[in-house]
Structure 1
């Protein structure tokens, strides 16, 4: 894997992450109030968003350029970004992704903050979803 730079993205540069998502036809977006993290190889090749919630952070917007997939980049970016924050990290994903996040230490054995629990109920009305958490200190 090339020598990539993993770093938080300053707020004035958030449009670059949204541009990256659009270039790859991804519906993901940088969420206001969150902390954006990116991996760069000159340009952005991966990104994510961590939004504060009670007791921790909500992980969204994980996307890796297809040319950089299969090299553990998502795991490196997620774990580095999570280590920089406080509390647990939760995500809501399709059940098919359980193994991917499980290898990073996420489990379904987690208690969601109310805001994410309510969101999960809404999401499950339209598609299969599970909640996973990465406990503090992992």
Structure 2
């Protein structure tokens, strides 16, 4: 398999992220007010958005091409994106994904910024959803660097 590169998607290429989501019949959409991160092997194979929120970021839209799931692509993409952030990162997920995110250093969020708390309450009206967060202190160092 071709090497997978994880990086920010340059603004002129943002439409490719929505094309990736549509190709896989995902309802997710790239947010223009976010950092758009992708994993690529010639074409996009995974994507996520990091939207500014309070004094940190809200991770949304994580999606990996179904044929490539279970290969660590999501975890590496999340870690790469989160390491670029200078504040906490929050996300909402199905409770079944709690273990996956805990393996990346996320924990159940104790204190959500008000704007995210309100959004979570709205989402929970329609489906099971939990909030998780990772702080600067809990992040894994980038591969090849020493822990701080």
Provide the TM-score with structure 2 as the length reference.
Answer: 0.89
How many residue pairs end up in the alignment? 138
Give structure 2 stretches of 5+ with no counterpart.
140-148
63-72 or 22-31: which moved more?
Answer: 63-72
Q: What is the DSSP-based 3-state SS (H/G/I as helix, E as strand, rest coil) of the residue aligned with 2:107? A: coil
Deviations 1:17-69, CA, capped at 9 Å, x for gaps: 00000000000000121000001000000000000011210000000011211
Pairwise CA RMSD: 1.1
Asked if the contact 2:49/2:61 (under 8 Å) is kept, the reply is yes
Task: For 1:1-138, list aligned pairs within 5 A.
Answer: 2-137=2-137, 138=139
Asked if the contact 2:90/2:109 (under 8 Å) is kept, the reply is no
Give structure 1 stretches of 5+ with no counterpart.
none
Instruction: Find the aligned partners of 1:51 and 1:78 in 2 and give their Cα distance.
Output: 13
Asked if the contact 2:38/2:77 (under 8 Å) is kept, the reply is yes
Q: Which runs of 4+ in 1 moved over 4 A?
A: none
Deviation at 1:99, TM superposition (A): 1.0
